Each structure stands twice: as C-alpha cells, then as structure tokens.
Amino acid sequence: MKRGDVVALVGGGGKSSAMFRLARELTETGGGAIMTTTTKIFGAQIALSPAHVSAAEATRDRIAAALSTHGQVLVIGATDATSGKAEGVSLELFGTLRAWFPEVAIVNEADGSRMRPFKAPAAHEPVIPAETTLVVPLVGADVFGKMLDETHVHRPELIAALSGAALGAPITPETVARVLAHPDGGRKGVPPSARVVAVINKVESLADRAPAYETAEWLLREPAIHAVILTALRAVDPVLEVITR
C-alpha cells in the first residue's frame, strides 16, 4: 500500500480489522488515514476509531482537525439510534474527501459479510468508488473445510454459482480462489486502473498452512491479481507472508 492510496476492502474474514490496522500503521508512519464505508458499520466498530465525523457534519476543516490530532478519522453516514449501526457515505462525499485530501490514504469497507469469513457479492454490492486505486478481497482461513451453507458463509448459493461447488460440500482452496478471482466475485466492480491484492486472514488458525498456499497458487493464475498476503490481522506482526508470481 502506498501513501495516498484509495483502498476498497471486500469479502469476509477481517475487513474491519484490516481497515483499523491499516489506519493505525499509516498513522504511525506519518501518513494519516481517512476510514469510511460505502455499506454499513456497527457501533462497536465505530468506537474503535479515536475520532469520527458524521457525513452531515463533514467539512474540510473538521476532518483536517481530526487528522492533525489523531492522524486518522472515521467518516460515517447517519447512525440508527436503535441498532447503533451507521450508514455508509455517499459516492459524492467520498469523491469530495479525495479532493480535499489527495495525499491522505482512504480506506473503505465496501461491502458487508454478516460476520462470516467468506462471501459472494449480491447484485447491489460492493460499492467501490471510481477513485479506488487498490481493491483487497479478503477471506478468513477458518472457512477451509467448513460446509458451504448459511452457517459458515454469506450467500452460499452465490458462492456455489461462481465456483461450481455444490451446496453443503466442504469448502476447498479451489472454491475460495474461484470466488475471490471471479469478475463477479472478489473482483466485482474493480476500476480498470486499480490493483488487486487478495488477503487470506486468520492464517494463524490453521494447523498447516497448506490450504492457504494452495489458495494463493490458484489465485495467482488470474493475471489481474497482483499478490496474495497471508495475515493474522489481530497479531502484533499481522503480515505473515507475501506471495507473488
């Protein structure tokens, strides 16, 4: 990731963890980060940010002040008082944020996964702004070997359609890779000039990394995918390995 990148996080298995981790690391290196979402975000996740600004109150000065004080800021839409969830920001505001702060990285959670480690996108998602320079499809390694059903994944019928796997079958590295690399899966809505780097998270949960390596091998057969990163996003050292061709 480069300073000034506009990142879209899609898929499942750690998007929010990735967003807050990236923001913290950018802040620590003096780059600064604006976090946001074009979907929805939970109240508990909002609380993880040292500063947040609602879309209705978002001005250049207010966001600049938060960046100056904290190095990072979360920009969110209207919050539902009952659920605590906040709506995503509009594409118009997203473009404005980019114009206001062209040198500051923006990290955007671009779809939801209902806390599942693996998903396929519905017709209305992901919402990836045109300004995006890096798209990161994620999957949680804890899904390997689990059944392709509602209990373990989000939208199993769409995963089955994209991968050719049968509903109820064990989830294999090939199934995961086919979905993440598919133009209607993990690469859906990627702007023509954007880079794509896949992340396999929670690799520390595997007794053997073989499924993660096999998934990476499958993924890198797709020329549009630049690299695969194996991560443990909640660990002290989150990046375990970077795999390229």
pLDDT at 219: 98
pLDDT at 150: 97
pLDDT at 121: 97
Q: Is residue 1 part of a domain?
A: no
Q: Are 39 and 122 in contact (CB under 8 A)?
A: no
For 10-66, the DSSP string reads: EESSSHHHHHHHHHHHHHHTT--EEEEESSEE-HHHHTTSS-EEEGGG--HHHHHHH
Burial of 2 (0-12, 13-18, 19+ CB in 10 A): exposed
Give the rounded percent of residues in the chain with a pLDDT score beyond 90: 89
Q: What is the CA radius of gyration of the chain?
A: 17
49: amino acid identity, one letter: S
pLDDT at 44: 85
What CATH number corresponds to the domain at position 100?
3.40.50
pLDDT at 139: 98
Q: Is residue 189 part of a domain?
A: yes
pLDDT at 30: 86
How many separate domains does the chain show?
1
pLDDT at 234: 92
Show the domain range for 165: 6-243
Q: Is residue 204 part of a domain?
A: yes
pLDDT at 75: 97
Q: Is residue 30 part of a domain?
A: yes
What residues of the chain score a pLDDT lower than 50?
A: none
pLDDT at 3: 78
